[in-house]
Structure 1
Amino acid sequence: MNQEINNMPHRRYNILTGEWILVSPHRTKRPWQGKTEKSMGTERESYDPSCYLCPGNTRSSGEKNPDYKEPYTFINDFAALLPDTPKKEVKNGLLRAETEKGICKVVCFSPDHSLTLPLMEVEEITKVVQMWKKEYRELGSTEDINYVQIFENKGEIMGCSNPHPHGQIWSQLSIPTEIQKKTKHFSEYWEQNQKSLLEDYLQQELEAKERVLLENEQFVALIPYWAVWPYEVMIVPKKHYQHIGQLNAEEEKAFAEIIKRQTIMYDNLFGTSFPYSSGIHQAPTDGKDYPEWHFHMSFYPPLLRSATVKKFMVGYEMFAGPQRDITAEQAAATLRELPEIHYSKT
């Protein structure tokens, strides 16, 4: 890799979406006088009687949670999509709209209100992975569900309204825009090479080692060459799997292990419960074959310089395209130097 370009303004190409990102490494030298956010602590009670996600508590809908001991899912009480939405379409000149149906679920990772993924045991996270698999299969086999999006918003900065460890699953009739873009580029590479785009990319990253953070026998965690967020991370299975449902028991545990190690790395970076949005991109569930797809999990965290300084996507990013200051290589080097023991345990 030509290192000279890494010290000057340049663009990097995202092979999964076909988009470019502006990188401005020289800007890290400028003084910071921007807004700060309150640091989030990790200490909470294991049960909160006012939490609508804790076991046995009543939610705002009037439904009562069971006294669950393992990951628990339920239909979102304030779902963005509804399964019984009638089919309607509107066309008025250049204006166009159509109804969208779907099923939105909440996934409680643990009955313990005080935990987050980095503080959970690998065995507990493995059960979360198993729940994701179950929901992907069941929702994906439901009529009129053509895509299943698994994700987590962690932290108030990311709009999370409840600190109880949980994520969401939105499944829907249409295939989302980001998935359409990735399907296009996966397909083009597959047609030309009869190989997975991410499989070849992963091999190049493992040889370079500049951006690789963690590795076990089944998975690799790395900062993508085209990363947008300061400490963006992608977890990729070494085997060419189209979706999470293909993981065997050993791979479920390996996935859980690398998620735990990665999120500990995040918390240790600034000594705070690190906020992020994470999500799994995988093959659609519309009944078609997607041999080109290679599932992956991405983490998009906003923190830039400390627990109180975040990266804002404003100005140029809103009106032109994504931009970052620290390079992917600088971010990877910073994260690799961190201990693997959670800071709260030392």
Structure 2
Amino acid sequence: MTGLLAGVRVVELGGLGPAAWTCTFLSDMGAEVLRIDRPDRTDLDFTENWMRGRARLEVDLKEPASRDRVKELVRRADILIDPFRPGVTERLGLGPEDVMADNNRLIYGRLTGWGQGGPYAKTAGHDGNFIATAGILATLGPADRPPIAPLYYAGDWASGTMPLLVGLLAALYERERSGRGQVVDAAMVDGAAMMLMQVLALRDRGVWTDARQANQLDGAPWFNHTYRTLGDRYMAVVAIEPKFRRLVRETLGLTEQIALDEPDRWAVDRERVAEVFASRTQDEWEKVFAGVDACVSPVRELSDLESEPHLLARGVYQRIDGKLHPAPTPRFSRTPSSIHPPLDSADLVGRWLATRRDHR
């Protein structure tokens, strides 16, 4: 393995979504990831892009001998990822106290929806539940309809994967000074709360209302909205600053017809802008705004990704063995990340067990 985290060993207890995506980031950056899964698992395609770059070992953690085998591997690891509800790994004898007693350099990453404590801690939930409780979901969607769930982007990804990943990397950095590992406790409800920081600040200043689609940043003004074009495609206008709004008005030929920013006129002005955008195709509007620094972009469909000029130039997507992969991010100048092929579990386990790491 090559990359920034070459030499870092990760044991991933098999979960779904945000914990698994965290391990994909670690793998792309060069870490060796060994995923532990139950033998009868049939709900996942382990060749999919979000499971890339790791080895997979089938283990029944309910069997004492199997747990002991995993403990031996954890003794030689740098990171353990626990994606289960509170108390599950403790019952299996794989909780922090169990495994860190034999490896005091271990970084124990826990990812849950509700956190390790609180009245909902052991309650079932999915990403929509966590962002609903934290206040995120109430801010999303049009004014005249119920809140709209943003797929898994806000909950699993932004509120789960990103905080856990940052926490693990920070703990690895701190370990270089202290020589000791620690538990990283990431909860999606906590991560969702972090995403509300700017909205809460605006609300405290009295410039944000609790109504949806009634604020400058939630699609209410004409200059921060998405418009249908001829041919049923869309253009995104995100001209937040006045200088960009002026360019948009000028390019659309609406300088005298719409206000620069008058909230009482937002709805009327959106209708006027919508009428203009509906008069041409997306391709035509893309040509009109080419070279105009006005924060106006075509809304790409998933079928456009491999032909979109900017994405193509940067290699943002890569097709490997017939499957479309997002390229690793971020990009490093000296130790580039890469999409690694699947690791051979027998080889990886053999190498780990042959390496003595006495961390006690």
TM-score range, shorter chain: under 0.3
Structure with more helix by fraction:
2
Structure 2 length-normalised TM: 0.22
Query: Computing the radius of gyration over CA atoms, which structure comes out larger, 1 or 2?
Result: 2
